[in-house]
Every structure is written in C-alpha cells, then in structure tokens.
Structure 1
C-alpha cells in the first residue's frame, strides 16, 4: 500500500482542511498523479465540484468568487508564470497553492510579489511528484522516453531536462518516504551514472537539510538501472492479466481505452483497472490468462445468482433490501461486464495474431539455448502470413539479441526475409537495437550463461520442466533483487555514489529503471515482497512499457541519430 497511501494522504490533507465548495486545478502531469489514487466520487466527498486544467483556467475570464481554488502543480517555471498572471486578476475567493516538489526561493518570491490582492491563503510542498500506479510501482510518464538512448552531445538541453525530471521524481519518492538513501548505479550506463550522481548531489549537498530525517536505522538503497541492460522483457508477449492487458490493449494511468473496438457499450469504452478500487483485479492481476478465464466464469456465476435472487422481489421489505444493496449490485454488474469485455477482446487478438504460436518461440528464444532450432522456428513464423509485422520484428530482435555472436550469416538471412515480408520494417532497426543493447553493452547476465549458479538453475529448470511454457521467462530484475537480498550485488558492476556505503542489508530498496519498467517486472517485485523476506522493493521508471512503446522509443532514437549524422 506504500506509494498509493502516501499520495492519497497528501491529497486528503490538501482537501479536507479547506471547508466549502472547491475547484481543484491541476497541470498535465499532476492530473495523472491524482487520477490513479483518487476517484471522481472521492473528490465529491471532499466538496470538489470542479476539476480544471491549468491551461484552460488561464484562458477563462469568468469570475467564480464563490469557489475556493486548490492548486496542485509541478513547480515548473511555466506553471509559476501562469500562476503569476492568474493572481494578478483573481477569479476565485481563495487560493490554496500546493506543489508536488521542492520550490526554489526565486519561485516563492515571484508568487509573493504577484499576490497583490492577498488572495493566497497558503503555499505548501507535498512531495507526490510521481504516478503511483500500484502500491510498489511508480512511473514518471515521461513523454520523450527515447532520449536515454541518444549520445549526450546530440541533444544536451533536452537530455538535461530529461535527467532533471527523473531526479525530481526520485527525490520526491524519498521525501514522501522520509528517508535518505545510499545510491548505486549500473556501471555500464552513462545515463544511470549521471542520474545517480545528480540525485546524490541533491540529497547530500543542495537539499541536505530537507533530507536530514535523523534516523539511526539502516539507510534504504536507491539502485539506478538502464533499460538497455534487459531489452528482452519489453519485447515479449505477456500472459498474466495486468501485463497482458497493457501489451494487447494498453493501460494509461490505470485506464484502458476501448473506444476503437467495435460495439462496446458507452459505459465500457474507458475502464479503470486499479488494484485499489477493484477487488477482482487485485486478486487476479498477476494470474495467468488460462486461470483468469476460469475466475471470471466464477464471478459471472456468482453475479447471476445475485441477479436471480433480485428478481424474486415480492414484498416491500424485499424491495427496500434491494435498494439498499443497489450501489453494490451496480458496481458488481459493472465489474463483471468490464472483465468479460477485456478477456473477450484479448482472446480475439490472441487468435487473430496467432500469439500462442508466436509466444512459444519467443519464450524459447528468451529462456532456452539451441540456435539451430531457434533459426528454423523464427524462419517458419516469418513465412506464416497470419503472423503480424510487429510480431515478426520482435521475433527477429529476440533472435538477434540471443545469437548476435553465434550466427551472423543466419542473422543476415533473417534480416533479408523480414525486409521482404514486412513492408513497414525500418531497415537497420534490429542492428540499432544491438548497438544500443547488445551483449557488449550489458552488465547483467541476461541469459544466465556467465554465472555458474545461473547455469545450474537453468539446467534444473529444464530438467523439471516448466508449469506454463508461456510464462517461463523471468526478467533480469528478478536476479538483481535476489542478489540484493543475499548481499551479492557486485560493487564493481554497481558502484556507490560518493563515500556512502551500505554497511548492512537494506530493508527498503527503490530500483529505478531509466527507459521504463514493465508490468512483468512489477509482478516480480510484488511476488518477492509477498514472501516477507525482510526487504521491501519499490520499482519505478520513466514510463511503463509494452512492446509497442519500446519499439516506438527505439525507432525515434534511431531516426534522430540517423538524421543528425546525415544532417537532414
């Protein structure tokens, strides 16, 4: 519950101490921060009758002096300038200003100078500068997520802005947790090193007083990783509920947009998937697809029993009882139809794209050796007209990552076949992935062939067989967390920032992945946290990836690098 609870508590404190009718004013990023932890009905209970975006408020001239304005904004120079203009001509009765991160002294002076009408009642920092999608998983929703792949010299100002946003998000997490961490980073990644060092500078030098929580207990660990250390996880099809919905339909701020799908009822066109608001989803978000179907059938059967009993309304007492239970009945009805719709749509996609066939080969490429058999399987799928362009591309990428050093001739054959079969294929994209995330660039033992313990583990798993061929893959993050738990994270691969070293095993670990996280990794974190190992892991990243988003980022970075080198 940790992150969701922290952000909810901040919003509660913002709204409950201000009596009367309120308007809540958000920016394009804080609207996501609030929406994942607070529903519309929660806001109404706090007498918030209007939610507006900062941009639209700036354009309106209408006076609303009967309302108290509660602003919750990121402390950007753009927001401060918009606020300055709004305070010059106040439209609301009172102004209560809350910022999601640290305000600069200059920004405070600008606000003080602008408040000539003395409309501002309070200015506070509430450190919720991250989107808490799940209790132990957060994202920064950074739009230009591809920037981490660009050379520093190519776009220094945008890259600095990107790094600043990450450091802001990480520092807000630790300010909300009221802890100052020991910081480590992935040695092979320049951007991970830069973010780790800038985070250390902020927490130990520039704002050391703010982070001085005076606790004698063991410091938490912040570990900064680079997505390119594990390019396999975001390329795979997923077969557990939350990850699969994101892969096939897309989740944004815990919402699934179904408007592009045929005849969906109006109330089902955008559905919320939140472990906080939906008990069925919370119980099933990490279950595999086969079990989900069975569990939804049970839920439908239960609902039909309740619906049948509601048809037997014969007395006034029966009617009163039904009316009392009606909100719950409606909620259950909405939940049943939501999950039935999602599973039905995903089943159609699985069938259309022959994903069971595709995924079996993907998992073999990710988890098992055997280059000859892999080449034959990928070739057959490239020749299969039912396999989509995106699935062909992912298969060749997974093969290239696995066998880049072993079979250059066969790899070239696959490149040629891919170009011939897929009109949308961008030449050089697979080679660009290898330049970005090939074996020479990675720190971790992605395929378990360097470390004797991993080789033994893979052999044992191969002998025992796997319960489900579609979910045998484990992200590299799982091994990293195991190494932390056992005190085996190598200093040479993951150096410390400054002179701050971990003396004992940490109890809280925040792992931040520059370039984005996946729901498969979030599932690994949740499962490991549920074992009560004495360590609580929190996962964060610049975005939440599915294969489509990962490929889009790769394509955008490739395009920018090519155009800068050709001068186009």
Structure 2
C-alpha cells in the first residue's frame, strides 16, 4: 500500500471531528505546518468545522469556550511551550496529538503542568514527515548542510541532525507498522548509527509488529555518493517545476512571475488532488505542451456547452457541475501558467544549450570536447551565474584527475565571469564528493542502479555495510531508502517507475529535504563557510 499524502491528516481529523464527540471543536493548533498544509487546504479544513489553524508560538488570545486540538512534534521546545499554556489555559479543553514517540518524562511534565485538568487526551500519531507523493517523503530539515561537516565542527547541531533523521525513520516504520530489524548504511556516521540503535533498543516494544518472512530493508545513503543528480537540469514536469520555480510542500509560489489573479499566486501540485498532474508529472517537457493543449481544448468544449443555457433545467445542470467546472478552470490556468513561465526561463537562460553540455559531461567521454563546450558557455553572456557554476562543478567531478590544468583554467574563467562565484566552492564539492566515475549512464541517478542491485540481490556490503542486530538472507519485499542530504524529484521518478515495473519489491524514497540545484549549492556554500571558520580539517 503506497503512502497517501492526505491519509495521516484524514485519520487525525476523523478521530477528532466525529460530531457525536467533538461537535464544537473549532480550532486546530499545530507546529507541523508542512504536514497539515500538504494534507488539507484551508477550505477543506473549514468543511470539517475547523475554523482556525494557529501556531503555539503565535496564539495568545483566551478562547475558553473552544476545544483545541494540538498536533505537535514531541520536541523539548514544544513541550516547554505547551507546559506554559497548560499553566494558564487559553482553551476549555486540550486534545494533544504528537507526531512521534513521546517519552515518559514528557508525559509526566505535561501532567504536572495541567493543574486545571484541561487535557482530555494524549495520543501518538506517527506522521513525523511530509508525504509528498505516494512513495516519496521528506523531513524538511532546515540545517541540511550539517551532513557535510565532521561532528567535531558543530557537535550540538550534528547530534540534533542525527536525532531528527532517526526520529523520521522511526516514524515511517511505525506508520507502516513494520518491524525494523536490520539495515545497510552508506552514510557511516557513527552518531547516526549509535542514536538509531539506542532508540530502537529503548522503544523495541513499539516496533513489535507481526513478523514477516523477510524483514523490510532500510538503506541509508549519503547524498555525496551522487552529487551530479541535484546539479543537472531537469526535463520532466514535476522535477522541472522544482528546478526552475520551486516546490515547497506541494505548493508553487508564483507571486514573483508577474501579475496573476490572487487565486493563482500560489498553486498546488499534488498527485492526490490533480488528475492531470498525476498523469503527467513524469512526462518530458515537450510532451507536456501537447498534453496541456489537449486539456485547453477539452475545457473550451465544456465552456461552449455551458454557454448554451436556455432553460431552467440547463441552468440547474450547470449549477450542479459548477464546482467541477471551476476546478477544471483553475487546473487549466495553473498548468498553462507554469509551462509558459518555464518556457520563458528556458529561453532566457539558454537551458537547451546548457543541458546538452551537461548531458555530455554526465554521460559521455571526451574531455577535450567537454572543456571546449564548457569554456564557450562560460563566455556566453546569456548563461546565468548558477548555470556557469554547475557546469564547472560537473566538469570537475568528471575530469579532475584527467585534466587538472584545464580545470584550473575553468576556475579562473568562472571567477572572472561570475560576480557571485564563491572562491573554492568547486574545490569544496570535490573534497566532499570525490571524482565521479561511470555511474550516470543515460542520465539515470545512482539510486536507479542501487534499486536494480537490490532487486537482483547484488547489493554489495562493501559499498553498504550492514549495521543491524542480525542479518537475514533473502530478497526483501519492502525497501525504505533514506538519503542523508536530500532527495530529488528525478530520484522520486525512478522509484515510481521501479515500483510500476512489478519487480516484487516496493521502494519508498525519503530524505532530509527535497533538493534542486539552488538548494544543493546553498547547502554547499553554508558548509564551506562553517568549515572555513573552523579549525577542523575537512
């Protein structure tokens, strides 16, 4: 059974807003903004008689006539804020739901603070992640650059990063009701492994689900094993929108692209709510244009039929269909706007030309031709600074050992042509990720080959050391892949296609964030800044 981005919030609301029990609930207090936003729109919450969605850090006005539902991560910070509110309650009743495992000490602390006995229930509801697509989730971790730094550089944030990763992995296995018994790990952080084992030992009873013949496999991967995938331009619909415009929690912010109606300034791209997007999210950009034209033609036909309203019966039929008509109108406008904007960006930045060279760098040989192509693009006034930087990074990752002299020439050229170029950033990515060798055939991310190796039983423990309590032979039926440092929509597409191939294994992709090239470069810059200010050797 795949993840459904709305399923967890649906069950929470089903529990909370049954009319015979919570007829007068009017407010949902939350800290997990992303999970709520992906699961439900504001209008859908209103239909459930949830009239106000607020944050525990902003809410102050007393509303003792209302019952409140809190949906929180069980962090020390959230528990402390909740204790302060319970000491002087704003609401008549508190119904507390936590997205992950709640410690006994935290329950005792809440009980001590509840002097007026306003807390009616406390439940754990395992949804400590954002389900973007049926087989893709993210933790939306803000300090994603931490994975690039040794723990000695920033011990506190390093441990916090590991704790958050472990919490997210635990939550997904609890949500799936799967026993986590062994895993392989290419991200060999001792902090991560130690934290994971400690949590599993302490909470082993929670994972005591029905045993399967072969336990699910957890594969933890380091983003630095494949730095090329997040650097490449994307040409399938979902991945391209994220690369050129940006997607956050299945929403696209269009306020900066021109004058648009208010209802189109932020649009939703969700395979659960948009049939056209679901059918086209993995299609190539050229095919999307033709498919959108068909969508427009279909809408025009419906519009013409609605213009021929001549009788009361015709009017009644139109009114019945009006919500669907409005929804279709919104969908057509949304996709036309997105494709129009992306076409403009592609032309302005000469991305067809840039991408052709990227493909040569990622897939084919020929260092001399590659050097010439990159040099020409660095001299092209239409090529943006970020595209110049990505091209030099891709060249460096491919040809560092073959052409150090030419690489230095590209460094100098990049510094002279790009005012925003950060000195040493290309060298930093080489230290972090090393030289890439023959893993990008036909633009397939390294993850694709990893999934094939799992399906064929060829996963090498030299590359992915086993770190579990006991090893089980046999091909797993379920594999959860967690990429420390972030996933990409190209990798999400690979997972969806692999699952559709009926290989007998279900893959679920997860990671600390969802990357595009801008976010990946931002993480690199932040890690480089901290590394330079530290005395630690990177």
Q: Do the two structures share a fold, i.e. TM-score over 0.5?
A: yes
Contact 2:6 2:40 in 1 (8 A): no
Contact 1:183 1:200 in 2 (8 A): no
Please, which of 276, 298, 318 is the counterpart of residue 322 of structure 1?
318
State the match for 2:385 in structure 1: 389
State the match for 2:46 in structure 1: 44
State the match for 1:413 in structure 2: 409
CA drift of 1:370 comes to: 1.1
CA drift of 1:20 comes to: 2.2
Hey, what's the Cα distance between the residues in 2 that align with 1:158 and 1:138?
22
CA drift of 1:3 comes to: 4.7
State the match for 1:273 in structure 2: 269
CA drift of 1:182 comes to: 3.8
Hey, what's the Cα distance between the residues in 2 that align with 1:128 and 1:393?
38
The CA deviation string for residues 249-296 of structure 1, in whole angstroms up to 9 with x for no partner, is: 000010111111122221111111111111110110000100000000
The CA deviation string for residues 3-42 of structure 1, in whole angstroms up to 9 with x for no partner, is: 5265234423442343323200011xx1101211222233
Q: How does 1:150-229 map to 2 (within 5 A)?
A: 150-187=149-186, 189-191=187-189, 194-203=191-200, 205-229=201-225
CA drift of 1:194 comes to: 3.7
Please, which of 19, 32, 35 is the counterpart of residue 34 of structure 2?
32
Question: Is residue 344 from structure 1 mapped to residue 343 from structure 2 by the alignment?
Answer: no
- Segment of structure 1 superposing worse, 193-202 or 46-55: 193-202
State the match for 1:550 in structure 2: 520
CA drift of 1:558 comes to: 0.4
1:36 aligned counterpart, secondary structure: helix
Moved over 6 A (4+): none
Contact 1:63 1:91 in 2 (8 A): yes
Hey, what's the Cα distance between the residues in 2 that align with 1:475 and 1:566?
32
TM-score computed with the length of structure 2 as normaliser: 0.96
Please, which of 397, 400, 407 is the counterpart of residue 404 of structure 1?
400
Hey, what's the Cα distance between the residues in 2 that align with 1:328 and 1:244?
28
State the match for 1:142 in structure 2: 141
The CA deviation string for residues 324-379 of structure 1, in whole angstroms up to 9 with x for no partner, is: 10000000000000000000000000000000000010011111111111111111
The CA deviation string for residues 423-442 of structure 1, in whole angstroms up to 9 with x for no partner, is: 11111110000000013xxx
The CA deviation string for residues 117-148 of structure 1, in whole angstroms up to 9 with x for no partner, is: 11111000001000111111010001010000
Contact 1:74 1:129 in 2 (8 A): yes
State the match for 1:482 in structure 2: 452
Relative distance call for 1:266 and 1:327 in structure 2 (3 A) is: same
CA drift of 1:98 comes to: 0.4
Relative distance call for 1:383 and 1:87 in structure 2 (3 A) is: same
Question: Is residue 527 from structure 1 mapped to residue 497 from structure 2 by the alignment?
Answer: yes
Give structure 2 stretches of 5+ with no counterpart: none
Contact 1:64 1:92 in 2 (8 A): yes
State the match for 1:506 in structure 2: 476
1:496 aligned counterpart, secondary structure: coil
1:263 aligned counterpart, secondary structure: coil
State the match for 2:291 in structure 1: 295
Relative distance call for 1:533 and 1:340 in structure 2 (3 A) is: same
Hey, what's the Cα distance between the residues in 1 that align with 2:180 and 2:304?
56
**Equivalent residues, number:** 533
State the match for 2:5 in structure 1: 4
State the match for 2:113 in structure 1: 114
2:158 aligned counterpart, secondary structure: helix
- Segment of structure 1 superposing worse, 132-141 or 43-52: 43-52
TM-score computed with the length of structure 1 as normaliser: 0.91
State the match for 2:24 in structure 1: 20
Contact 1:21 1:66 in 2 (8 A): no
- Segment of structure 1 superposing worse, 228-237 or 420-429: 420-429
Please, which of 425, 430, 433 is the counterpart of residue 429 of structure 2?
433
Hey, what's the Cα distance between the residues in 2 that align with 1:109 and 1:336?
53
State the match for 2:486 in structure 1: 516
Q: How does 1:81-92 map to 2 (within 5 A)?
A: 81-92=80-91
State the match for 1:69 in structure 2: 68
State the match for 1:447 in structure 2: 438
Hey, what's the Cα distance between the residues in 2 that align with 1:516 and 1:183?
22
The CA deviation string for residues 506-525 of structure 1, in whole angstroms up to 9 with x for no partner, is: 11100000000000000000
Relative distance call for 1:45 and 1:263 in structure 2 (3 A) is: closer
Give structure 1 stretches of 5+ with no counterpart: 440-444, 450-457, 459-471
2:51 aligned counterpart, secondary structure: strand
Relative distance call for 1:494 and 1:182 in structure 2 (3 A) is: farther
Hey, what's the Cα distance between the residues in 1 that align with 2:212 and 2:29?
39
- Across the aligned residues of Structure 1 and Structure 2, the Cα RMSD in angstroms comes to 1.6
CA drift of 1:200 comes to: 3.1
Relative distance call for 1:446 and 1:175 in structure 2 (3 A) is: farther
Question: Is residue 563 from structure 1 mapped to residue 533 from structure 2 by the alignment?
Answer: yes
Hey, what's the Cα distance between the residues in 2 that align with 1:182 and 1:486?
21
2:94 aligned counterpart, secondary structure: strand
Contact 2:3 2:134 in 1 (8 A): yes
1:25 aligned counterpart, secondary structure: strand
Hey, what's the Cα distance between the residues in 2 that align with 1:10 and 1:173?
16
Hey, what's the Cα distance between the residues in 2 that align with 1:398 and 1:7?
40
The CA deviation string for residues 378-405 of structure 1, in whole angstroms up to 9 with x for no partner, is: 1111111111110000000000000111
